Chains A and B, each alone.
Chain A
Amino acid sequence: MCIMNPDPPKQRFQHQQRQDETFEQHQTSERRTERTFDSVEDMLRHDMAQTAPPPGIVARLEVSLEAEPPPQRSWWRRLFGG
């Protein structure tokens, strides 16, 4: 009868090595995403930079503004021309 060791020494070593590599990658990944903000404003600015308005708003606006009368000329334009 042949009993196969499910985890022979060499495979065990390779398995352990893979686990170690995965752990290291995870650590590296965490290090990569770690970030320090000097102030609340810095953090909010970063968040703002990452937060773009969804493109669907422009399409909605185009539809809404089609129904609007054209905007009047600015008072200084009416006064001074241009």
Chain B
Amino acid sequence: MRGTHALLRPLTRDYTREPQVVAQILTMQGLEDSEFWRRVSLENHLDPDCPFPESLVCWIREFMDRGDSRRAWDVVTALERRVARIVDRGLTRVYDLRQDQIEDLTLDLITNLYHEWLSLEPPHEFWEIRFIFCLKRKLISHVRRFIRDRDIEVDLAGGIQSAADAEDPLSRLSDQRSIDTENAAIANVALDQLGYPLNRAFFLYHYGELTQEQIAKVLGVTERTVRNWLRKAEDLLEIRRSQEGYIQ
């Protein structure tokens, strides 16, 4: 089934497949059907027979290239089981999404993923080079688009924007990272709950190590606004710290 066909289409962009992926694809080419599909269905990446996701994308496209879309879809089915846990887990960590919104986002994401995995177009070749990176990019772009839409609604409602406009004179922060260990632990888990743009400002300041001036520049606001956002973020985290019973 697989042995008589030239494998590994040349990539048209300036990419190179990882050597271990190439070796694995060539090994799989020589397998009997039953062993080939057994390996495709493996999900535990610690199993030495378990194919790299990059290899599976390559096989999807090999089958598509030969006009055997049914086998391509079977590889897609195996690949989706490996992707599901990453996506489901990631989405539970995005704050304030309703279940119906998660389902909408997931449906849109899946449709997009399948199109790109099955496509032979050069812009989608990168899935064969860095699968997990591509998956993260795709997930982030879908979440970002969704969250931005939501946050615009929040801004229009005036909640966050009004907090930034009037500076509390007591809220001025010195330009140093004063977050303590306990608050850092809370911030780790509650960061996304702060909402945009407090979460970005807080992240850039405490984890990205940008100065308040740099944050003001990249977010297109004044330093005073950044200081207010940071103060507001710390206040919210303090409230959070005093609460009990949030889901671990």
Bound together: no
Q: Using a CB–CB distance below 8 Å, which chain A residues touch chain B? A: none
Q: Using a CB–CB distance below 8 Å, which chain B residues touch chain A? A: none
